[in-house]
Amino acid sequence: MEVNTVLDALRAVTERPEPESKSNELNRDTFLRLFITQLQNQNPLNPATSEEFVAQLAQFTALEQTTKTATLIQELIDQGKQRERVDLINFIGHDVTAVGDTIQVTDATSTSLTYDLQSEASTVAVVISDALGNEVRTLQFGPQAAGRHVVDWDGLDDQGSPVPLGTYRFEVQAVGPDGLAVATTTFLREKVVSVSWEADQAELLLASGRSLLASDVVSILGPRE
């Protein structure tokens, strides 16, 4: 038999679909059977050399190690996905922040509004509008440094009356010392009520009814007091 006969036959066998839990054991047993068959049927006038046998054993060992490595990597990937699911389930009942401009008014307590200023601002106005786009409150602030800022809205309109419960939006209008507009980024904060998975992609269902990709979450916060 040729030097690679055993390995060629082994590859032909292992390419057949087999139950995953039996694959390594089958490969090993098949190799040993073929190896013994080669010894029994080799040409006595031209027997395989020890170097040829060693080469075949080395090839099989490399093949088996590759299979084990691939299996181990897949197990690690599966374990990572499982840990990620457990971590995301722990989000339920907590507030998360993500890039967005919505506010949920659910009770009479104040609501925190978060935004980033790309550069220093001389004046900052936070304009809050209802679901129809009507402005209900404008918060005015003086100079603010570049970076993240958190301000509180007491849930009152410009006349001092409580606004109805529901969804609102806010916009940050900032002007720098040079009189030009300052770039801003706003962040929403909402409670997670459930988690779902679609094609290995996690989605968080928020209290407002909207969904948010887990990958879009900027931070997770404790439950509101």
Model pLDDT for residues 146-156, shown as the tens digit of each residue? 999 999 999 99
CA dihedral of residues 221, 223, 224, 225 (deg, nearest 10)? -130
Has residue 74 got a pLDDT over 70?
no
CB-based contact 204:191 (threshold 8 Å): no
**pTM, rounded to two decimals:** 0.57
> Percent of the chain, pLDDT > 90?
33
Q: Where are the alpha helices (DSSP H) in 90-205?
A: none
CA distance 220 to 188: 12
pLDDT value at 3 more than 60: no
Residue 36 belongs to domain spanning: 5-89
Half-sphere exposure of 107 (CA within 13 A, CB side): 3
**What is the C-alpha separation between 21 and 140, in angstroms, rounded?**
66
The torsion angle over the Cα atoms of residues 12, 13, 14 and 18, rounded to 10 degrees, is 140
In this model, does residue 40 exceed pLDDT 60?
yes
pLDDT confidence of 38, banded at 50, 70, 90? low
Domain boundary (89, 112, 129) is at 89
For tokens 């916009």, name the residue.
171
Beta bridge partners of 123: 175
> Are both 84 and 104 inside the same structural domain?
no
* pLDDT tens per residue, range 41-73: 665 555 556 666 667 667 767 766 776 666 666
Q: Are residues 137 and 193 in the same domain?
A: yes
Calpha distance 73→189 (Å, rounded): 37
Task: Say what the pLDDT of residue 42 is.
Answer: 63
Q: Which of 118, 173, 116 is nearest to 150 (CA)?
A: 116
- The share of the chain scoring above pLDDT 70, in percent, equals 63
How many structural domains is the chain composed of? Answer: 2
Given a contact cutoff of 8 angstroms between Cβ atoms, the answer to whether 30 and 13 are in contact is yes
Same domain, 210 and 123: yes
Average pLDDT over residues 110-120: 92
Q: Pairing mode, if any, of strands 211-213 and 111-117?
A: unpaired
Residue 12 predicted with pLDDT over 60: no
Q: Where a domain ends, among 60, 89, 118?
A: 89
pLDDT of residue 200: 72
pLDDT at 1: 45
pLDDT of 163-205, one tens digit each? 999 889 999 999 999 999 999 999 988 888 888 887 777 888 8
CA gap 88, 86 in Å, rounded: 5
Verify that 115 and 74 share a domain, yes or no: no
Residues 31-36 have a mean pLDDT of 68
Q: Are residues 14 and 61 in the same domain?
A: yes
Whether residue 206 sits in one domain with residue 121? yes
Query: What are the C-alpha distances in Å from 125 to residues 37, 67, 175?
Result: 85, 61, 9
Boundary (domain end) residue, out of 71, 89, 107: 89
**CATH at 199:** 2.60.40.4070
> Taking 50 as the threshold, does the pLDDT of residue 21 lie above it?
no
The encoded tokens of residue 139 equal 């918060």
Q: What pLDDT does residue 53 have?
A: 63
